[in-house]
Amino acid sequence: MSRIGVFTCHCGENIGATVDCAKVAEMCKHVPGVAHSVDYKYMCSDPGQRMMQEAIKEHNLDGVVVAACSPRMHEPTFRRAVSNAGVNPYMCEMANLREHCSWVHEKNDATTQKAADLIRVLVEKIKHNTPLYPIKVPVTKTAMVVGGGVAGIQVALDIANGGHKVILVEKSPSIGGHMSQLSETFPTLDCSQCILTPRMVEAAQHPNITLMTYSEVEKVDGFIGNFKVTVRKKARKLDEKLCTGCGLCIQKCPNKKISDEFNEGLGTRTAIYVPFPQAVPNRPVIDTLNCTFYKTGKCKVCEKVCPTNAIRFEQEDELVTIDIGAIVLATGFKLMKTEAFPEYGYGKHKDIIDGMQFERLASASGPTAGVMKRPSDGKEPETVVFIACSGSRDRSKGVPYCSKVCCMYTAKHAMLYKHKVHSGKAYVFYMDIRAAGKDYDEFVRRAIEEDDVKYIRGRVSKIYEEDGKLIVKGADTLMGGEPVEIKADMVVLATAVQSNDRSEELAQTLHVSYDTYGFFAEAHPKLRPVETNTGGIFLAGACQAPRDIPESVAQASAAASKVLGLFSQDQLTREPIVAVVNRQAGPTYSYCVGCFLCQTACPYQAIEQEQILARNGEVIKTIARINPGLCQGCGTCVATCRTKAIDLQGFSNEQLYAEIMTL
Amino acid sequence: MEALKQKAKELLQKGDVKAVLGYAVGTGNVRRPHFARTPEQVDRLVLDEKCTQNLATYLTKHEVKHLGKVAVVALPATQRALLQLVAERQLRDDAICLLAMDGTEVKVLPSGAAVEQHLALKTDAMPTADKAMIEKLMAMTREQRWAYWQQELSRCVKCYACRNSCPMCYCEHCTMDCNRPQWVPVASHALGNLEYHMVRAMHLAGRCVECGECGRACPVGIPVHLLTFFAEESTAKQFGQRAGHSTKLDYALSTFKPDDKETFIR
């Protein structure tokens, strides 16, 4: 016979005002299996907990029902208290009298009766409870950071400074990401590369950081603390150890007219190239799609000029599998292209450019060495129109969300232009100015008031070319929608920030959820913003949503602190609320028939195959096994299993059945 | 017929298979399953329009598995059942050897891929009578349909013949046998019968190979196969996935695709 204690809490007035707690305690005394039943004003208080612990000892209780608030609030409190009194914590259950009864009902007898019923249900459940013990899983203390932009670099540095190994995987030949392409940064107008490159070098030289540039994550197996990540090291077509980065091959490469990705198509590069002068690592790659040797079978100039014979034309991609304990995704974003805008000429006007192209034009390391020249004819533009919200906040043609950074960078662009071309005129078409952030609004005011940038609130309906000028037709909604026409020399579209190419594919590889737009989803929008729903995988930067640099860096450090917290333990302790596959004596061995329909249903990839072997090693049966390290206890497999071979510990079929049949 | 016997004998003589499972004439001129283990026993095989039973049901039984590789005289529904059994890992792909009739010609289908290819040439056609009956039921009001099934299922004696004859009901331990806890009552009263048939239809949604064996096996003539047919057709319509067309598992009820329709949520 069970000896169960029932402790009914008044929660001050929260429960006590509508439920007659003294009567509930009295009613529960008569439930079979209940050995002790009392009520108290605040069970969670110190005296309340002490009272419970003393009652456990005095009445020799083997199970406890605390009838109080939601288990989300105080289950850990009471389980700890019960545990300290020598009873297994999983023999303690909470009846939610507050949210499920007192808050939602009027004060009357039926409410009190319902409270007693909620307790009765759990008394029956506890009769079927078994002691459960926490699950321990080991931790591999190496982190992988996917994406080598400013967020990824920050995560890597923070984890490395915390004393753990980090592998930084970047798909392009150099780390640095979009920040390395920017000219200046808002709101301080300091040079982007000047502040980023020291971090890049620090990451490259840090003894705890291994850079894997020109590499991509191919496959992820395993679970928190115990991932196995397969990385594809794309062939650079040269021996990185022999190469000194002298750049002779780049100088001599005859194929010089390839559109340069780093300069957003505004400049050219060679077939063997480093993306930009401060690239880390400073090792070139051969672009096999454009290299003359790969196209025609002849050339090999780079091989001839290389002083260390580092060129390897026959080099192939390499797959490396690494044991990893935690993964941080920092894969960044991409910008919508100007081709997406029919009303702005589908990107066919050379002088209608996007924000990132403007960054390159304004950058000292850019194709014009920072001199303001428009792409079509290299003339200095006398009038420049900036259009904010190009594609953002546009339900019909673009994306419905705000891209967040455009208001600020448009103000910055207009300012940079005015600083470079003093006589020039800058116009900004905007919908709203969203400049929430430290010194952000001041920055926009400065553009308007000190640098004389003309802000026009309204949208642009059309841009077309006439006599070598771009005619921008819009409306000024602050002037009652009066039509505005500006003859511009160059137009800069602040195009929408979008999730990066292949982000959905990566999310599926890592089993991380993502939203409609391909941005990775956080576990909780407020309280768990850098964690994903998959244990051990964290997020940093613009792969989650549009973010500016300070936010990306802050989030990166937050993700790093989560990883360091994880790595501070030698073993992870997990709640034993996991599914288990039934096992029993032969000839059945298990109710599981091994159809593995549960395997596709499991959102956490926790279901593996297990072979039941005879003594001679012959396979008798192949059944499902649930990896307790991965299982999150959602119960989907339990519902999928036709033979009821799977049960969720702590919420077993028998426990639930007992609860239902009590009512 | 002779060609079939010839092939069956060949397979046995060469030792490719340990037995050939087909149909023979039983008591009262019915067709019953027949395991031919020697070339002589092959002579008793028959194949005519009276042969309807889905023989795939036998292949997952312990006794048959112990026999070794068995060649099966396979009707289209049997072929579908075999593919689904491979997809659900109840049979190994290399354990498949089907004897399928293609007109008068006998084809040996030695693998799941061969069965897939063979089946791809055929179109699924639910028997017109069944199709008409489902349409008739769906044209009824909810109350009429409820009354119809109440009436039909009241005759069920829970002999579980429908379950035992079904090729996809291969579980060694059926939910119906669970007694800790006893989710579905054992007695054949109105509630128990309804629960049993609902559970069976749900367990076969997306898995039913539409052979209609359950309906034929019912000793009191309840058209139980209409329930699973309808469940299967609904899954096919909603998710574009049909059971028994591939050896790759694509079970609509345990997978999620971004373009899944949600019209069934009301």
Task: Map residue A396 onto helix, strand or coil.
Answer: coil
Cite the beta strand spans of B85-147 per DSSP E.
Answer: 98-102, 105-109
Do A471 and A398 have their domain in common? yes
For residue A174 the two structure tokens come to 């150099």
Do A479 and A339 have their domain in common? yes
User: What is the residue-averaged pLDDT of chain A?
Assistant: 94
pLDDT at B95: 86
Residue A349 belongs to some domain of the structure: yes
Question: For A34-45, what is the mean pLDDT?
Answer: 96
Domains in chain A, number = 5
In chain A, % of residues over pLDDT 70: 100
SS in 3 state form for A440-477? HHHHHHHHHHCCCCEEEECCEEEEEEECCEEEEEEEEH
Closest residue of chain A to B178, computed from CA coordinates: A644
Residue A240 belongs to some domain of the structure: no
The confidence band for A566, taking pLDDT boundaries of 50, 70 and 90, is very high
Q: What are phi and psi of A106, to 5 degrees?
A: -80, 165
**What is the rounded distance in angstroms from the CA atom of residue A104 to the CA atom of residue B135?**
46
Last residue of a domain, one of A463, A498, A533: A498
Exposed, middle or buried: residue A27 (CB in 10 Å: 0-12, 13-18, 19+)? Answer: buried
| DSSP secondary structure code for residue A510 in this structure | H
Do A423 and A538 have their domain in common? no
Longest dimension (CA), chain A: 97
Closest residue of chain A to B65, computed from CA coordinates: A620
Last residue of a domain, one of A127, A150, A165: A127
**Would you list the DSSP string of A56-104?**
HHHTT-SEEEEEES-HHHHHHHHHHHHHHTTS-GGGEEEEETIIIIITT
Do A49 and A118 have their domain in common? yes
pLDDT at A630: 82
What are the residues of chain A with a beta carbon less than 8 Å away from any beta carbon of chain B? 588, 591, 593-598, 600-601, 622, 640, 642-645, 653-654, 657-658, 661
Do A326 and A338 have their domain in common? no
Q: CA end-to-end span of chain B, whole Å?
A: 53
Residues of B in contact with A597 (CB under 8 A): 88, 249, 251, 253-254
Alpha-carbon distance values, B79 to A497, A574, B66, B204 (Å): 52, 46, 21, 17
**What is the rounded distance in angstroms from the CA atom of residue A657 to the CA atom of residue B184?**
11
For residue A441 the two structure tokens come to 């609004």
Do A21 and A114 have their domain in common? yes
A526, A523, A559, A524: which is closest to A541 by C-alpha? A559
Any CB–CB contact under 8 A between B170 and chain A?
yes
Alpha-carbon distance values, A187 to A116, A372, A435, A446, B156 (Å): 61, 21, 10, 10, 78
pLDDT at B102: 83
Any CB–CB contact under 8 A between B66 and chain A?
no
Residue pair A178/A332 in contact (Cβ under 8 Å)? The answer is yes
For residue A543 the two structure tokens come to 């792969």
Question: For A126-143, what is the mean pLDDT?
Answer: 94
Question: For A482-494, what is the mean pLDDT?
Answer: 96
CA distance A610 to chain B (A): 13
Residues of B in contact with A593 (CB under 8 A): 90, 170-173
Cite the beta strand spans of A337-382 per DSSP E.
Answer: 352-354
Contact B89 A640 (CB under 8 A): no
Do A429 and A295 have their domain in common? no
pLDDT at B123: 67
**Would you list the DSSP string of A541-563?**
GGGTS---HHHHHHHHHHHHHHH
CATH code, domain carrying A25: 3.40.50
The confidence band for A106, taking pLDDT boundaries of 50, 70 and 90, is very high
- On the question of pLDDT at A206 being above 70, the answer is yes
**What is the rounded distance in angstroms from the CA atom of residue A521 to the CA atom of residue A514?**
5
CA distance A582 to chain B (A): 11
CA distance B66 to chain A (A): 12
CATH code, domain carrying A409: 3.50.50.60
Residue A574 belongs to some domain of the structure: no
A157, A7, A141: which is closest to A67 by C-alpha? A7
3-state helix, strand, coil in chain B (%, to 5): 45, 10, 45
For residue A295 the two structure tokens come to 């196209």
Residue A587 belongs to some domain of the structure: yes
**What is the rounded distance in angstroms from the CA atom of residue A645 to the CA atom of residue A246?**
65
Contact B88 A588 (CB under 8 A): no
Contact B88 A596 (CB under 8 A): yes
A-proximal residues of B, 182-201, CB under 8 Å: 183
A-proximal residues of B, 74-93, CB under 8 Å: 88-90
Residue A640 belongs to some domain of the structure: yes
Contact B89 A658 (CB under 8 A): no
Adjacent-strand bridge partners of A184: A191
Adjacent-strand bridge partners of A579: A648
Residue A134 belongs to some domain of the structure: no
pLDDT at B124: 67
Question: For A423-432, what is the mean pLDDT?
Answer: 96
Residue A343 belongs to some domain of the structure: yes
Adjacent-strand bridge partners of A465: A470
Task: Map residue A601 onto helix, strand or coil.
Answer: helix
Q: What are phi and psi of A67, to 5 degrees?
A: -95, 100
**What is the rounded distance in angstroms from the CA atom of residue B183 to the CA atom of residue B49?**
41
pLDDT at B120: 80
Only one residue has tokens 């897939």, namely B116
For A269, the enclosing helix (H) or strand (E) is strand A268-269
- Which residue stretches of chain B have pLDDT < 70? 123-124, 264, 266
Count contacts between A and B (CB, < 8 Å): 57
Contact A642 B183 (CB under 8 A): no
Sign of CA dihedral B114, B115, B118, B120: negative
Please name the member of B171, B183, B249 whose beta carbon is closest to the beta carbon of A593: B171
For A565, the enclosing helix (H) or strand (E) is helix A549-567
Instruction: Determine the length of chain A.
Output: 663
pLDDT at B266: 65
Q: Which residues contact A511 (CB under 8 A, 6 or more apart)?
A: A220, A534, A603, A604, A605
CA distance B184 to chain A (A): 11
Any CB–CB contact under 8 A between B173 and chain A?
yes
| For helices A71-84 and A46-58, angle between their N-to-C axes, nearest 10 degrees | 50
Residue A280's domain comprises: 248-305
Contact A600 B90 (CB under 8 A): no
pLDDT digits (tens, 9 = 90+) for A538-565: 999 999 999 999 999 999 999 999 999 9
A456, A178, A490, A465: which is closest to A335 by C-alpha? A178
Adjacent-strand bridge partners of A495: A390
Q: What is the dihedral of CA A372, A375, A380, A381, to 10 degrees?
A: -100
**What radius of gyration do chain B's Cα atoms show?**
19
Do A486 and A364 have their domain in common? yes
Instruction: Say how many CA atoms lie within 13 Å of B158 toward its Cβ.
Output: 16
Query: Residue B28 — left, alpha, or beta (φ > 0 → left; ψ -120 to 50 → alpha)?
Result: left
**What is the rounded distance in angstroms from the CA atom of residue A124 to the CA atom of residue A372?**
78
Do A594 and A623 have their domain in common? yes
pLDDT digits (tens, 9 = 90+) for A301-316: 999 999 999 999 999 9
Exposed, middle or buried: residue B134 (CB in 10 Å: 0-12, 13-18, 19+)? Answer: middle
Do A584 and A658 have their domain in common? yes
Question: For A395-404, what is the mean pLDDT?
Answer: 93
Do A337 and A406 have their domain in common? yes
Please name the member of A591, A600, A653 whose beta carbon is closest to the beta carbon of B249: A600
Alpha-carbon distance values, A30 to A5, A26, A95, A232, A250 (Å): 12, 8, 17, 67, 88
Longest dimension (CA), chain B: 60
A643, A445, A553: which is closest to A196 by C-alpha? A553
Residue pair A379/A351 in contact (Cβ under 8 Å)? The answer is no
Residue A241 belongs to some domain of the structure: no
**Would you list the DSSP string of B34-56?**
EEE-SHHHHTT-B-STT----TH
**What is the rounded distance in angstroms from the CA atom of residue A63 to the CA atom of residue A54?**
14
B37, B58, B55, B42: which is closest to B8 by C-alpha? B42
Contact A593 B181 (CB under 8 A): no
Do A524 and A640 have their domain in common? no
